Amino acid sequence: MAYLPRMTRPILLFPDPRLRKTCAPVGRITPEIEALAADMLATMYSAPGVGLAAPQVGVLSRLFVMDCNKDPDAPREPVVMVDPEVVSASEVLNAYEEGCLSFPDQYAEVTRPVEVRMRWTGLDGKLHERDFDGLWATCAQHELDHLNGRLFIDHIGPMKRQMIARRMTKMKRELARA
């Protein structure tokens, strides 16, 4: 199969039923999964964003990418997590102003554990386990939520959630008309 590597893919915007699905385990790392991960990293970096989950590009598989190193002069630190899970989470919580590439220009404060231990399959096919904190921990939990059809607006109060949902519906209507 001819394939252009590092192609950016369109990002689905909320509301879209695919953003509410529970994604299926990936299992074995195939060339298609490697290509998907490369495309997702290219899509995330060009957006730009710090994380992107497969359902956001319409693929209902348990895979996400992230790079929370925001210093433009630092080398990139791409992380690809296949079939990720949280092994343990700190009792100490942290509030962070989250956004999401499926919700352009929408932000809300979300409270989550400040540290998480993640376990996942890498593109090398091996199991990895590592602790994350700060923005990395927030991002890993946000992206893992996506694989279960859960979005950052599910963590906030109903008033703010409805406000963001209304704005997104309006934004999509305007984009469809343009």
Residues that are catalytic: 143
Closest contact distance (angstroms) between CB of 50 and Ni ion is 10
Closest contact distance (angstroms) between CB of 146 and Ni ion is 6
Interactions with Ni ion, residue window 100-129 (CB under 5 A)? 100
Closest contact distance (angstroms) between CB of 31 and Ni ion is 26
Q: What is the DSSP string of 90-134?
A: -SSEEEEEEEETTEEEEEEEEEEESEEEEEEE-TTS-EEEEEEEH
- Contact partners, residue 123, CB within 8 Å, separation at least 6: 29, 33, 34, 37, 80, 82
Stretch that binds Ni ion, among 7-15, 58-66, 68-76, 98-106 (CB under 5 A): 98-106
Q: Is 41 in the site for Ni ion (CB under 5 A)?
A: no
3 state SS of 147: coil
Count of residues interacting with Ni ion (CB under 5 A): 1
Answer yes or no: is 146 a known binding residue: yes
